[in-house]
């Protein structure tokens, strides 16, 4: 019942097909804009990871791509090929014994300088540069402190996602 002085008009129509088309256009719009934003974020993440391995002699290939992009969600997949030794540097290793080789001794160079620093994107000159040492017994190495490059990349992408994608949506809508 309408309030006194008000006229109630009821219009009944079948807007289903039109609403479905509008919804489909909106889905394509959002997924295209979202894909573009996630692609930009993925490219930024790839650049950050590549900074961390650019001085490595055996540099891994870093593949970063958007996936599962829809109106509601988006993912960025990161793949490092080959996974080793990148995983050792990224996740770290515990201290461990290195056994004597099959020829009865170990050979290594002293004076190692790490090419990467924990918590920092980037890579510097480094490696083993001292004299060769030959030993006939196992040696203890302290392990590798984790660098967390993948974790830092994910945090960077998440931090910038709302701002970057929001800007792209506003640009697409010409706000």
pLDDT of residue 3: 53
92 within domain boundaries:
yes
pLDDT of residue 7: 56
E strand map for 41-167? 61-67, 75-81, 96-98, 106-109, 112-113, 127-128, 132-135, 139-141
pLDDT of residue 143: 92
12 within domain boundaries:
no
Number of domains in the chain: 1
Question: Containing domain of residue 152, as a range?
Answer: 17-173
103 within domain boundaries:
yes
76 within domain boundaries:
yes
Q: Give the H or E element holding residue 52.
A: helix 16-53
157 within domain boundaries:
yes
Give CA–CA dist 162/31, Å, rounded: 15
pLDDT of residue 160: 84
10 within domain boundaries:
no
Nearest to 76 by CA among 35, 48, 47: 35
pLDDT of residue 137: 94
1 within domain boundaries:
no
pLDDT of residue 60: 93
9 within domain boundaries:
no
Along the chain (175 residues), what's the average pLDDT of each consecutive run of 10 residues?
Answer: 53 60 69 80 90 90 82 80 90 94 88 86 86 93 92 87 80 71
pLDDT of residue 138: 94
User: What secondary structure letter does DSSP report for 57?
Assistant: T
Give CA–CA dist 129/138, Å, rounded: 21
């Amino acid at each position: 019942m309408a309030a006194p002085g008000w006229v109630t008009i009821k219009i009944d129509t079948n807007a289903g097909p039109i609403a479905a088309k509008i919804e489909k256009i909106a889905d394509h719009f959002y997924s295209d804009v979202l894909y573009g934003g996630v692609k930009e974020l993925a490219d930024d993440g790839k650049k950050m990871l590549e900074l961390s391995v650019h001085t490595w002699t055996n540099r891994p290939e870093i593949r970063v791509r958007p996936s599962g992009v829809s109106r509601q969600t988006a993912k960025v997949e990161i793949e490092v090929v080959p996974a080793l030794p990148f995983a050792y540097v990224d996740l770290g290793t515990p201290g461990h014994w290195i056994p004597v080789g099959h020829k009865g001794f170990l050979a290594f160079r002293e004076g190692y300088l790490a090419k990467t620093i924990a918590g920092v994107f980037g890579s510097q000159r480094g490696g083993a540069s001292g004299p060769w040492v030959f030993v006939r017994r196992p040696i203890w190495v302290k392990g590798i402190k984790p660098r967390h490059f993948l974790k830092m990349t994910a945090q960077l992408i998440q931090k910038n996602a709302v701002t970057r994608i929001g800007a792209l949506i506003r640009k697409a809508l010409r706000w």
